[in-house]
């Protein structure tokens, strides 16, 4: 294969590379349309906007353009609030031609900055400027990255190195990477960053660490990014020596009120708390026989005078609860609809289990019309091959955003969107060169959830790699099929939670022992008759949490979507599916199709060598080889295990497993990334 002679790149610039435009005709056109900059203010945010425009135009057009006070043909004018329609709100913007000039305006400076990044995106993706007229405003108010970063530098479920928050050197040293992070975040419309792990450390609320967070908040402020912190519910016990953390205790109430006042004195625009309570061993109001609304309102009332919010995670379940785990959050929280304070947002995962390759949408969406909700998605590929598998998440996110609930599409039932970050200290930020596409996708969809997966992939590829049409078309096709591939080679037909214990790396359909709801057998329930979790009225009746007619569609074997079949039904091995294949043969087909899809991705990528610098091309090529190997591992291990129940052969026209089931069951992996505590 012939490699490109393009200079080697590391991926550090993400989608903000601003490389020179090679199309000479287009370059000449842009140079006549952009000849000067006119800024009407020198606020910190508009200084950032000005610096970004100068940087972008210099890189893309290869010229330095002057700053002037005169609006003339070819001027790019930014910062005029009187030119932005009030309907665009505080963060929206307009980009339009006006008397041979280009105007970028917003009702606030941050709106202008968002518009500047959009304008540069037009240049990066080679869009015409002759009749440009764009009006854009965010569809969701809260667009927040959730960093599961620990104070010791590790990242829970982080697969791109260690945390780039250097808490030891803060607040005195602000690494240049923090500014690059702020640029990237703001360029895609994200307006919040939760700095600390939801499995919280109470130290983050001490004065020493609040001053460290304040240094980041000061840096982020011109970029419109608010800082959030995870609050450990037991903090009054751990850092104040109180004898209780009961949310109805007067002393506890007073402590949180004083803590809120202290925080806002240090960080005046502090966004608020994110809380994981009474889930997976985390402390919470249930420890004192109180409700989740009692716990959330305790913190919300403390933050309310300062304009802060509480983001209370709906990821709650308990090992002592015998009910189907996928029902527990709904059962606990929906009866409390209307009891949460106005500044509480319930943060709900896209599905009712835990970021699986495919889940139905979470039934809480559409069931709590008197409670503000946020959608939580995960860019970190905890269950999707870590950072070694190419998995473009936009189709997964869109599946949930577009899902119809009792109150309409999920997207219209939420005030915000939170994304579990996939960033780390790796030079390219996300480990896999294509991993940044999921960070980018999160921001773009949180701003405008009507964007298509294809459109987002197209612009990300153009900004990150190349504007060459053959490259963009083929690479877009790769990205659009890349999510379905791991669904097929990991958990086809609605299978779920069959990964290895603890680190979640690789297959583990045989995992049993200990907490039932942390085992694979609990979920696939394979036996000599069939496989799958019966969640119909004759089983756990989880279907009852969905509204009609979806409830009835899911409940019947013949109408349930086949990509969720084993999520809701225990299906006989010889049951015939729409393909004409039996369930067993369909499983064999899907597992093999997943491997085939990865091999197609490999072939497609090999054909694109001439368009990508050799360093990034070879990096992706090597990771695709790992993915193909691990896809075969998943396929062979799962089919061999499930074959012990089906007692049927793997059809001879498929590749046969490379090793025995005993071999796969005895594989051990140590120090898998993303596990702060190694438990092997």
Query: Which residue in the block uniquely carries the two structure tokens 């606030």?
Result: 108
Question: Roughly how many angstroms between the first and final C-alpha of the chain, as a whole number?
Answer: 42
Query: 275: part of which helix (H) or strand (E)?
Result: strand 272-275
Q: How far is CA 48 from CA 13, 186, 331, 352, 353, in A?
A: 17, 11, 47, 41, 41
- 501, 468, 498, 661: which is closest to 566 by C-alpha? 498
User: What number of other Cβ atoms are within 10 A of residue 656's Cβ?
Assistant: 11
Query: Which residue in the block uniquely carries the two structure tokens 């709900």?
Result: 348
Q: Which residues are catalytic?
A: 280, 354, 382
Q: How far is CA 438 from CA 349, 444, 520, in A?
A: 16, 10, 28
169 SS3 class: coil
What's 401's DSSP letter? H
Query: Which residue in the block uniquely carries the two structure tokens 């438990």?
Result: 679
Angle, helices 436-447/453-464, rounded to nearest 10 degrees: 130
How far is the C-alpha of 350 from the C-alpha of 379, rounded, in Å?
Answer: 12
How far is the C-alpha of 492 from the C-alpha of 357, rounded, in Å?
Answer: 9
How far is the C-alpha of 271 from the C-alpha of 185, rounded, in Å?
Answer: 16
Give the up-direction half-sphere exposure of residue 583: CA atoms within 13 A in the CB hemisphere: 25
How far is the C-alpha of 556 from the C-alpha of 574, rounded, in Å?
Answer: 17
How far is the C-alpha of 289 from the C-alpha of 246, rounded, in Å?
Answer: 9
How far is the C-alpha of 405 from the C-alpha of 412, rounded, in Å?
Answer: 10
Query: Which residue in the block uniquely carries the two structure tokens 């928050």?
Result: 165
Residue 126 φ/ψ, nearest 5 degrees? 65, 45
């Amino acid at each position: 294969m012939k490699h490109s002679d393009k200079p080697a790149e590391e991926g550090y610039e993400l989608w903000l590379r601003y490389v020179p435009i090679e199309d000479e005709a287009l370059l000449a056109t842009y140079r006549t349309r952009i000849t000067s900059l006119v800024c009407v203010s020198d606020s910190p945010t508009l200084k950032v906007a000005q610096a970004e425009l100068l940087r972008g135009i210099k890189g893309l057009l290869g010229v330095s353009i002057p700053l002037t006070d005169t609006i003339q043909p070819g001027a790019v004018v930014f910062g005029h609030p009187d030119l932005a329609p009030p309907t665009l709100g505080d963060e929206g913007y307009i980009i339009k031609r006006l008397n041979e000039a280009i105007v970028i305006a917003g009702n606030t400076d941050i709106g202008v900055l968002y518009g500047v990044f959009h304008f540069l995106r037009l240049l990066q993706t080679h869009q015409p400027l002759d009749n440009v007229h764009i009006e854009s405003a965010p569809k969701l108010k809260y667009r927040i990255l959730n960093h599961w970063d620990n104070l010791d530098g590790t990242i829970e479920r982080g697969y791109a190195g260690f945390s780039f928050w250097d808490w030891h050197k803060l607040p005195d040293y602000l690494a240049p990477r923090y500014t690059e992070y702020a640029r990237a975040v703001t360029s895609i419309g994200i307006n919040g960053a939760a700095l600390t792990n939801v499995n919280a450390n109470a130290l983050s609320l001490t004065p020493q660490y609040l001053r460290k967070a304040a240094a980041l908040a000061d840096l982020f402020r011109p970029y419109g990014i608010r800082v959030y912190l995870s609050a450990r519910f037991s903090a009054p016990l751990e850092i104040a020596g109180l004898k209780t953390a009961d949310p109805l205790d007067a002393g506890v109430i007073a402590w949180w009120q004083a803590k809120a006042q202290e925080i806002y004195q240090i960080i005046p625009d502090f966004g608020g708390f994110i809380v994981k309570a009474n889930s997976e061993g985390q402390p919470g109001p249930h420890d004192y026989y109180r409700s989740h609304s009692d716990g959330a309102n305790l913190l919300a009332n403390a933050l309310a005078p300062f304009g802060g919010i509480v983001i209370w995670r709906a990821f709650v379940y308990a090992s002592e609860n015998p009910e189907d785990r996928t029902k527990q959050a709904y059962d606990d929280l929906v009866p409390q609809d209307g009891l949460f304070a106005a500044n509480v947002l319930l943060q709900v995962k896209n599905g009712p289990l835990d970021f699986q390759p495919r889940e139905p949408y979470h039934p809480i969406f559409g069931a709590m019309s008197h409670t503000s909700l946020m959608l939580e998605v995960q860019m970190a590929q905890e269950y999707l091959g870590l950072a070694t598998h190419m998995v473009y998440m936009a189709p997964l996110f869109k599946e949930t955003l577009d899902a119809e609930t009792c109150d309409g599409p999920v997207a219209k039932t939420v005030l915000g969107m939170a994304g579990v970050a996939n960033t780390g200290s790796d030079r390219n930020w996300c480990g896999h060169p294509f991993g940044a596409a999921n960070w980018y996708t999160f921001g773009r969809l949180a701003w405008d959830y009507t964007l298509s997966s294809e459109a987002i992939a197209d612009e990300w590829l153009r900004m990150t790699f190349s504007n060459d049409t053959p490259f963009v078309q083929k690479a877009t096709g790769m990205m659009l099929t890349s999510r379905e591939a791991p669904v097929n080679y990991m958990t086809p037909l609605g299978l779920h939670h069959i990964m290895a214990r603890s680190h979640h790396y690789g297959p583990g359909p045989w995992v049993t022992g200990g907490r039932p709801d942390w085992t694979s057998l609990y979920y696939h329930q394979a036996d000599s008759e069939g496989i799958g979790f019966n969640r119909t009225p004759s089983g756990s009746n989880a279907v009852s949490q969905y509204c009609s007619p979806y409830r009835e569609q899911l409940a019947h074997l013949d109408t349930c979507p086949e990509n969720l079949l084993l999520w809701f039904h225990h299906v006989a091995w010889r049951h015939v599916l729409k393909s004409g294949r039996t369930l067993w043969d369909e499983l064999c087909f899907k597992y093999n199709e997943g491997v085939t899809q990865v091999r197609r991705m490999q072939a497609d990528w090999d054909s694109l060598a001439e368009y990508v610098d050799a360093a990034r091309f070879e990096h992706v090529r090597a990771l695709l080889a790992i993915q193909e190997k691990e896809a075969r591992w998943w396929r062979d291990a799962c089919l061999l295990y499930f074959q012990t129940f089906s007692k049927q052969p793997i059809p001879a026209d498929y590749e046969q497993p490379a090793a025995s089931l005993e071999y796969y069951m005895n594989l051990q992996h140590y120090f898998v990334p993303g596990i702060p505590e190694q438990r092997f």
